[in-house]
A = this chain, B = another copy of it.
């Protein structure tokens, strides 16, 4: 048994939740910010058997890995026209930081 702590970007959080549920992993979610990843992010706590760790890491990587994404320009409604970019741009989104922690006892009441 291990406790997996995964910090993922908010935009990937629901997708990861659904994938975990579908694969019978149970997670607790904590709202978090900053630092490891661009804010905001979500911290998942997932308790799981050692034998299920490789598959869990695969699910996190599949749903949250850092990747390039084309972002459509937003027209500068009352904003700064100087910073308006009139064509789609590629930005980096996603990314996950994962810690696998040993545990000494696990209880379920």
Chain A interface residues (CB < 8 Å from chain B): 2-3, 5, 7, 17, 20-21, 26-37, 41, 43, 45-47, 53, 57, 60-61, 64-66, 94-109
Each complex incorporates copies of this chain amounting to: 3
Is the CB–CB distance between A109 and B64 below 8 Å? yes
Is the CB–CB distance between A104 and B101 below 8 Å? yes
Interface centre among A27, A28, A66, A103 (most CB of B within 10 A): A28
Is the CB–CB distance between B45 and A28 below 8 Å? no
Closest residue on chain B to residue A61 by CB atoms: B109
CA distance A46 to B43 in the complex (A): 13
Tell me which residues across on chain B come within 8 A of A17, comparing CB atoms.
Answer: 34-35
Report if A101-B103 is in contact (Cβ < 8 Å); known contacts: A28-B34, A35-B26, A36-B28: yes
Closest residue on chain B to residue A34 by CB atoms: B29
CA distance A30 to B60 in the complex (A): 21
**Minimum distance in angstroms from A42 CB to a CB of chain B:** 10
Apart from A30-B43, A100-B104, 13 more pairs, CB < 8 Å: A2-B104, A5-B45, A20-B35, A28-B35, A30-B30, A30-B32, A31-B31, A32-B45, A61-B107, A95-B109, A97-B106, A99-B105, A100-B105
